[in-house]
Chain A
Amino acid sequence: MIINQFLLLGAALFSIGVYGVLSRRNAVLVLLSVELMLAAVNINMVAFDRLNQDVMAGGQVFALFIIAVAAAEVGIGIAIVLLIFRNRRSANVDELDLMKL
């Protein structure tokens, strides 16, 4: 099995995700980019699982866990963003310097 394509895909996807997190202004898009990074990790997980021929299929199980946790995380993230937007009439990450306080 050739793993390189998968790893390159994962790396490209992760880098796009990182770029998105660091550069997008809109909080929703930042969260979306985080999802991209998680997807990249999942690809790596599944790819290495197949490479190692794991009897327990640990990589795939962990990928499923990550998808479930990411769903919950996005749910909370979207809720926070929604509340911030309601309070401030903006979901612009640049203006959210509340963590300074």
Chain B
Amino acid sequence: MSSPLAFVAPLILATAEEEGGHAVEHFGDGGVLAEFAWLIPVVPMVAAFAIAFFGKKSPLKGWGLAWGSMAFVAVYGVALFISNLIEGITYEGAISIGDIGTDASGHTLGLEWGWMVDGLSIMMYMVVGVVGVLVFTYAKSYMEGDIRFTWFFASFALFGGGMLVLVSAPNLIQLIVGWELVGVASYLLIGHYWEEHENSSAAIKAFLTNKVADVGLFIGAIIISLSVGSFRFTDIMEHISHGADHSTLAQYSFWAGVAIFIGAMGKSAQFPLHVWLPDAMAGPTPVSALMHAATMVTAGVYLIGRLFPFYNTPGFADDVRWIIIVIGTLTLFLTGLIALVADDIKKVLAYSTLSQLGYMMVAMGAGAYTAALFHLFTHAFFKSLLFLGAGSVIHAVHSNNMSDMGGLRKYMPQTYTTFMIGSLALAGIFPLAGFWSKDEILASIQYAGSNYTVEQGGAALANFVLVVAIAGAFVTAFYMTRAVSLTFFGKYKGHGHPHESPKMMTYPLIALAGFSVVAGWINIPGVTSFFTDGVAARFLAPGDHHATALNYGLAAVGTLAAVGGIVVGYFLWFADKDTQQERDKFRIPVLYPLLEHKYFIDDFYMDGIVRPLRGPVARAVDWFNGHVIDLVINGAGVLSVRLGKIVYWFDQRGVDGAINASAAAAGGTGGMLRLLQTGRIQQYAFLIVAGTVALVAGFIIF
């Protein structure tokens, strides 16, 4: 690139495969708003470092800076979102940093820092900003009095900033930078209460699980970049738009697709790499709210969405979609069941998040880009609401366990109301946000089942997945009924007197409850298509399927499943009796222990992988430490002693000798010359005369 700051002209290559058509053919460049969108990731990052260095001296101890940066992102994100609805924006700004060599075909691989402003990233900016600012508001009150208050907000701002770096990335390298920033920040935040060993090991678990998956992302990124000859998404998309026939990428794309998906499985916590997410509850509740809603777990879905044409174009990684569907289906159903047996309210919500992430991945796999992102969008609001509500409850009763709760609706009316709205939205009850997004996912799976015949048995698989997804809706409603019943109904079983949380905590809940109600209305099939049009604004149209009319039969089945879950849950847990906790104790012989032990996956990782490796690794490290490092250190010590001796000798004999010798020489000379100075005038006079005579004689002779 010749100029350091280049504007990449919009590249419109294909239009969406539409049924009724809202064909988006021309996009604007977003004007000044997009040009300065680089501020979105930069402001929170700067705030994070400013808080870390100067936070303690500032009047609000760093909270103000963190909140301000998130408020900025929220306002900017909403402004971009609105202008994107008026006219689709596709803009890519980039600053060239340098070249990192050439690939086999002679292309120079440029390293760039840039900012992508298109429908997909704008949607993410808004979600991160809006959810972020509400969570940060809540966190001020929640974290009040914490000994590492300032440090918490520095990490929290870094968390948001890292996610925004990831989202704004126009190339794979910057995406990986943001990806890792999010990983580091999550490590810091999950281990915030590191005084307890359990919490710090949860942080390590999250970090290492993500690292395992990151290897996949790196391999995928390397394969794609080297075969396309660029790290940029626009170049990759352009390459894909030319078709698979002459593509260098196409022949490796299956493995590249699998590798990238493994990366996404880590961040988005897909089965069987989901184990870190429930343990990540060790962090403070606002962290969980942000992590489960806007940042971190959405990154994997975002990545698949960003590379969606790669997964959706025949000849490229479209075979990987069936793997995505299978993994997503396993995640959505199996983890949802675990939520039924968890006692920790945050764990219930964590497994619920896993289940919803499964839905998103299934939708991506079924080729429904819009549906997956729409579910991400609505889920962000009601899941952050539920977590903040749970945090409010935990704040009141000082326990995470639902067995210490019960009957809280009388004490905490606002938390109860908002939590109820969040639960209904999550369960997918009409007309709340979850209903619309879940329905759209079901519709797109059905569409995949009836239309996609990419592989033998593909349609049959999709139909099976549809059944599982509907069952998942039932399970979702079921466990949320349980959580609400055990927490807010029945008799209070804890100690002390629960009280409603301060306004600074309840107002964000109310705001999020509002979003949880209305967020779905921007994409009602056949009525509104703001969201669909918004996220379709991309350099290469995603080319997904989007239903333009509500499928009443499917919507009815989905709603029935949810209502069924609530009804069954009501009969099992709701009855307001003393025995409510005992009702939770019924045990189904094989299934219950299996769920309680989380399918023994954690145990397998611990006993099957970690423990057998840990001993030998520890011994090897010990041996290395004792034999190699100590050897080097001891060797250095011995060498120092030897060297010291040489220097001592040189100092004593060499330097001191020279000094003493010059002193002795001066003394000797002085002693000899002293003899001359007798003080006798006649002797001096004799010497003068003798000298004169000698000189005269010399002149005469020579």
Contact = CB atoms under 8 A, between A and B. Distances in A.
Contacts of A100: 677-679
A101 B685 CA distance: 17
A99 B682 contact: no
Contact of A96 (B677, B681, B689): B681
B685 A22 contact: yes
B679 A101 contact: yes
Interface string B656-680: 0000000000000000000001111
B690 to A, nearest CB: 10
B686 interface: yes
Contacts of B677: 100
B680 A97 contact: yes
A22 B689 contact: yes
A99 B681 contact: yes
Interface residues of A, number: 13
Tell me whether chain A's interface is mostly helix, strand or loop, or mixed: helix
B679 A98 contact: yes
A39 interface: no
Contacts of B689: 18, 22
Contacts of A97: 678-680
Tell me whether chain B's interface is mostly helix, strand or loop, or mixed: helix
Nearest to B674: A100
A13 B233 CA distance: 118
A51 interface: no
A98 B679 CA distance: 6
Of the candidates B679, B681, B689, the one having the most CB atoms from chain A within 10 angstroms of its own CB is B681
A9 B283 CA distance: 123
Nearest to A101: B679
Contacts of A101: 679
Interface string B489-533: 000000000000000000000000000000000000000000000
A93 interface: yes
A56 B505 CA distance: 123
A18 B689 CA distance: 8
B128 to A, nearest CB: 96
B18 to A, nearest CB: 120
Interface in B682-700: 682, 684-686, 689
A4 B680 CA distance: 36
Contact of A94 (B680, B684, B685, B686): B680
Interface string A2-33: 00000000000000001001110000001000
A30 B686 CA distance: 13
Contacts of B682: 21-23, 30, 93-94
B694 to A, nearest CB: 14
Interface in A31-74: none
Of the candidates B682, B684, B689, the one having the most CB atoms from chain A within 10 angstroms of its own CB is B682
A73 B488 CA distance: 129
Contacts of B686: 22
A22 B679 CA distance: 14
Nearest to A98: B679
A30 B683 CA distance: 13
Given A18-B689, A30-B681, 12 more contacts: A21-B682, A22-B685, A23-B682, A30-B682, A94-B680, A96-B680, A96-B681, A97-B678, A99-B679, A99-B680, A99-B681, A100-B677
6 contacts: A21-B685, A22-B685, A22-B686, A98-B679, A100-B677, A100-B678
Interface of B: 677-682, 684-686, 689
